[in-house]
Amino acid sequence: MLSIGIVSNLSKDAGGQKTSMIIEAVLDRDMKAFVLPPIYELTQKGILTGEKDFYEKSDLILVLGGDGTILHTARQAARHNKPLLGINLGRLGFLAEAELSDYSMILDSVAEGSYQVESRMMLQAELMRKGRTSKSFLALNDIAVTKSSYSRIIHLKALINGNAINNYSADGILVSSPTGSTAYSLSAGGPVIDPGMECLLLTPICPHTLNSRSIVTDASSTIEIVVDDTNKDIVLTIDGQEGVELQNGDTVRVCKAEYKAQLIKISKRNFYTLLHEKLTERLYYY
């Protein structure tokens, strides 16, 4: 019997009706439905588990929410080598495989095993402070070193494999995976990269210069961002969700992670069709 772990962004489903509907549909197809306490308390459906058992016992993770929910769950699922299937409850849903209206077809395909798993490169970041690793992080989309709130530029140095690339006066620097090339990096003027590739993308954010451009480097490379600024309003962010304050002299070291995100693919849409659809939706939305 297939075991499905169900994650839902309850801020997008306040009453839990959509989540409850999905749990019932999973059970109707003779699959187990594991849920964490917030969902169980709201719906009284599924098998209640703690977070450790949730990932260990689930064959795959079904995520109801937007890209933010999928990103958060992907970091956890990757550490347990579990594939993830996103159903969009948000606005853009670039990482989601389907819209909520398609849930019946999606669950039929899952029950029948009629799907493929697409591996996506992830990023590992280490915060080096006074010569020691202070913290480490895992990201699917991007690692960013940016100013926090005040409207002023910050000063950063970038190195690739120990070689100095540039000194930046900018709002910040992004290091993105191919998957993350269509997220913050795209808004910052970076190129779109096919998510099937493996490489690192460095993109300055609003650089105060006429000649700063994005740099694409091999996935085996290591990118270092050094804080060269006494401003105390500089932060490191992970997929735009986790954050830590940086100090002058801190180094953020980014490389390819040992983990990979595994996204379940059912539809016949390829990346370029999806890119056109979603970016057109964004254009009309705004």
- Per-residue pLDDT of 184-203, as tens digits, reads 999 999 999 999 999 999 99
User: What DSSP designation does 282 have?
Assistant: H
CATH number of 3-115+266-285: 3.40.50.10330
Residue 90 predicted with pLDDT over 90 = no
Residue 278 predicted with pLDDT over 80 = no
Question: For residue 277, what are its two tokens?
Answer: 């659809």
Q: Enumerate the active-site residues.
A: 67
Using CA atoms, how far apart are residues 45 and 171, in angstroms rounded to an integer? 46
Using CA atoms, how far apart are residues 183 and 50, in angstroms rounded to an integer? 31
Superfamily of domain 122-259: Probable inorganic polyphosphate/atp-NAD kinase; domain 2 (2.60.200.30)
Q: How confident is the model at residue 281 (pLDDT cuts 50, 70, 90)?
A: low
Q: Calculate helix-pair angle for 17-28, 103-112, nearest 10 degrees.
A: 30
pTM beyond 0.95, yes or no: no
Question: For residue 54, what are its two tokens?
Answer: 């949730």
Higher pLDDT, 280 or 82: 82
CB within 8 A of 104, min separation 6: which ones? 25
- Per-residue pLDDT of 98-128, as tens digits, reads 999 999 999 999 999 999 999 999 999 999 9
Residue 283 predicted with pLDDT over 50 = no
Residue 284 predicted with pLDDT over 50 = no
Using CA atoms, how far apart are residues 191 and 168, in angstroms rounded to an integer? 19
Residue 282 predicted with pLDDT over 80 = no
- Per-residue pLDDT of 122-142, as tens digits, reads 999 999 999 899 999 999 999
Using CA atoms, how far apart are residues 147 and 59, in angstroms rounded to an integer? 40
Residues of each domain in the chain carrying CATH 3.40.50.10330: 3-115+266-285
Residues of each domain in the chain carrying CATH 2.60.200.30: 122-259
